[in-house]
Amino acid sequence: MKFIKFKPIYFNRIWGGSKLKEMFNRNIPNNANIGESWEITDRPEAISIATNGQFANISLADIIANNQQYIMGKQWNKPFPILVKWIDANQPLSIQVHPNTNTAKILNAESKNENWFIVQSQENSTIIAGFKPSVKSASTENLTDGKWLRENLNEISTKKGDSIFITGGCVHAIGKGNLILEIQENSDTTYRLYDWDRLDDNGNPRKLHIDQSAKCINFSSPISVIETNQNCPIKQNATLENASILCNFELFEIRHLKMSKNATIELQNGEAKIISLVQGTLIDDENNSIFCSENVLQPSAETLKLTALEDSEVLITKIKI
């Protein structure tokens, strides 16, 4: 088996929905408000378990520990550096911020940079990313004022195929109606600034982290949206170089490719990669399938040739270690 599949780990969220079940026929209870599905994760609170091939029923941590060169291409005694998740925003997420590397050290936390790929967006859906250019600072009073935040943050309309890289220090929120594939550093440090005056299941306001947020905020965080909906599909053979770059971060590079039916892509060995299929069906040269919404790991030692059984769209994340 030239790629490894994992069992998704689902999380009910106050803002979650049912798109993963409705769109991808996931095995999820009808009444569940699934906000996140952690697809590939190596964290104490949630660790992926392989479901196929020689590593079936083994945790990602144990797979790497016992096969470091094969999986990572080098000696590697740390957790897997990337976390991949689906986010279904049936309601808006909190306005929040993550620390960058320097601030994380000060706060004894984990840095978090993340990339959002919009797989579905309802009409009038938006995200929040950074402050408006005129905003250079904010007082504690400002940061605790939901009205001030709403008026001064940068709201961006979203559409299917948009890709946005959110750096540590960038205040952000995912708006209602977005289904997002998030590829991020292996971190779960989040500081909430504002949560729309929502109450949790026990009738209490959700915890905010104003002091930590204030230490993290970068008012000049760069924001750019890459649009992929006009990308032309490849019709024949391709390599990774044919895929357009969405994000080139120090830990990972994400590329995007549309494939016509019967088109192929060959992904050479040399580094671990994550293949995320957001449309269609792919098959390898051993007749193993990757289905829409699946995220699989290509070990560094393997070369993988994939063929589209129908028009398909794929993100390929190259892990840089």
Please say if the pLDDT value at position 236 is more than 90. no
What's the pLDDT tens digit per position in 65-88?
A: 999 999 999 999 999 999 999 999
Distance between CA atoms of 107 and 230, rounded to whole angstroms?
A: 42
Instruction: Answer yes or no: do 26 and 101 share one domain.
Output: yes
Q: What does DSSP say about strands 126-131 and 191-194: parallel, antiparallel, or unpaired?
A: unpaired
What's the pLDDT tens digit per position in 192-208?
A: 999 999 988 888 999 99
Instruction: Answer yes or no: do 254 and 296 share one domain.
Output: yes
> What is the token pair recorded at 52?
């196929």
Cα separations in angstroms, 111 against 22, 168, 194: 33, 7, 20
Max CA-CA distance within the chain?
A: 60
How confident is the model at residue 264, as a pLDDT? 97
For 288-295, what is the mean pLDDT?
99
How confident is the model at residue 230, as a pLDDT? 82
What's the pLDDT tens digit per position in 237-268?
A: 999 999 999 999 999 999 999 999 999 999 99
What's the pLDDT tens digit per position in 99-123?
A: 999 999 999 999 999 999 999 999 9
For 284-313, what is the mean pLDDT?
98
Instruction: Answer yes or no: do 278 and 313 share one domain.
Output: yes
> Which of these, 170, 194, 166, lies nearest to 180 by C-alpha position?
166
Please say if the pLDDT value at position 225 is more than 90. yes
CATH code of residue 301 = 2.60.120.10
How confident is the model at residue 202, as a pLDDT? 87
Catalytic residue list contains 192: yes
Please indicate, yes or no, if residue 145 is contained in any of the structural domains.
yes
Please indicate, yes or no, if residue 4 is contained in any of the structural domains.
no
- Phi/psi zone of residue 25: left (φ > 0), alpha (ψ -120 to 50 degrees), beta? left
Please indicate, yes or no, if residue 87 is contained in any of the structural domains.
yes
Instruction: Answer yes or no: do 213 and 257 share one domain.
Output: no
189-210 core/surface letters (b: 16 or more CB in 10 A; e: else): bbbbbbbeeeeeeeeeeeebbe
Domain final position from 195, 225, 255: 225
Please indicate, yes or no, if residue 81 is contained in any of the structural domains.
yes
Q: Which domain holds residue 294?
A: 237-319
Please indicate, yes or no, if residue 123 is contained in any of the structural domains.
yes
- What Rg do the C-alpha atoms of the chain give, in angstroms? 20
How confident is the model at residue 21, as a pLDDT? 96
> What is the token pair recorded at 113?
């940079």
Domain final position from 177, 197, 225: 225
- 65: three-class secondary structure by DSSP: helix
Instruction: Answer yes or no: do 97 and 173 share one domain.
Output: yes
Instruction: Answer yes or no: do 176 and 274 share one domain.
Output: no
Query: Of all helices (H) and strands (E), which one includes residue 163?
Result: strand 162-166
Instruction: Answer yes or no: do 241 and 144 share one domain.
Output: no
Instruction: Answer yes or no: do 269 and 197 share one domain.
Output: no
Please say if the pLDDT value at position 219 is more than 90. yes
Share of the chain above pLDDT 90, in %: 93
Domain final position from 176, 202, 225: 225
What's the pLDDT tens digit per position in 11-56?
A: 999 999 999 999 999 999 888 999 999 999 999 999 999 999 999 9
For 170-198, what is the mean pLDDT?
98
Within 10 Å of residue 139's Cβ, how many Cβ atoms? 10
How confident is the model at residue 229, as a pLDDT? 86
> Considering 43, 192, 206, 255, which one is annotated as catalytic?
192
Give the amino acid at 81. P
Instruction: Answer yes or no: do 63 and 91 share one domain.
Output: yes
Instruction: Answer yes or no: do 163 and 252 share one domain.
Output: no
- Average confidence score pLDDT of the chain: 96
For 147-152, what is the mean pLDDT?
97
Instruction: Answer yes or no: do 252 and 277 share one domain.
Output: yes
Domain count, the chain: 2
Instruction: Answer yes or no: do 152 and 247 share one domain.
Output: no
Distance between CA atoms of 196 and 141, rounded to whole angstroms?
A: 16
